[in-house]
Amino acid sequence: MTTYADLKARVRERMTRTGETYTAARAALLAEPPPPHAPRADTEPPPPRAPRADTEPPPLRALVVETDLAADRAVATFVDGDRLRSIPTRRRPRAAVLMHLLLRFERGREYAEREVNALLATAHEDVASLRRELVDYRWLQRADGVYRVADELPERFPAEAQEVPSDEVARFARVPRHRG
């Protein structure tokens, strides 16, 4: 039996409590540190071991698949080189493709609307839809006609969290920082 055998039960409990989907509840639980395990009364807990890099199992977060494979498939399906074949109509693939397009921007840099349009036009003709979706997901922030990549990821509502890739944090971390 694994150390995290009660994970499914904790996910189900969180689903009932918060109304989240299984995936969203599981992701939220995996983002938290694992709960402390109470030692059994009939046994003495083993002494703590010093971690060894070659044999120590990865922490719980590393057990989660490092990339969202469905998001990677969506990008592979809809992106051909630097261009989009089409804008996905389904929300999950669209969010994955938008995160892929976000890599064209730099965090910490301000963009005029025409610059955002020029960057997105290299991917697809419908720049207004792409720009609007990036702002709606709060990956791009708009104020007085100036656009910036968000400094940090926004808090997601359960319904919204179902749409974005499960590895949104890792994908967002790949957005380059402005050097200037």
Residue 162: the pLDDT is 92
Between vectors from CA 100 to CA 96 and to CA 105, what angle results, nearest 5°?
135
pLDDT of residue 51: 58
d(CA 94, CA 71): 9
State the 10-residue block means of pLDDT for the chain, 180 residues long. Answer: 67 85 84 62 57 55 60 92 94 95 96 96 96 96 95 90 92 90
**What pLDDT shows up at residue 59?**
52
CA dist 33 and 60 (Å) reads: 8
- pLDDT score at 77: 93
Give the pLDDT of residue 30: 82
DSSP string, the chain: --TTTTHHHHHHHHHHHH---HHHHHHHHHHSPPPPPPPPTTSPPPPPPPP-TTTSPPPHHHHS-SS-HHHHHHHHHHEETTEES---SSHHHHHHHHHHHHTTS-BT-EEEHHHHHHHHHTT-S-HHHHHHHHHHTTSEEEETTEEEE-SSPPPPPHHHHTTS-TTHHHHHHTSPBP--
**Burial class of 137 by CB neighbour count within 10 A (0 to 12, 13 to 18, 19+):** buried
**Residue 15 to residues 26, 33, 37, 55, 136, Cα–Cα distance (Å):** 9, 18, 22, 34, 26
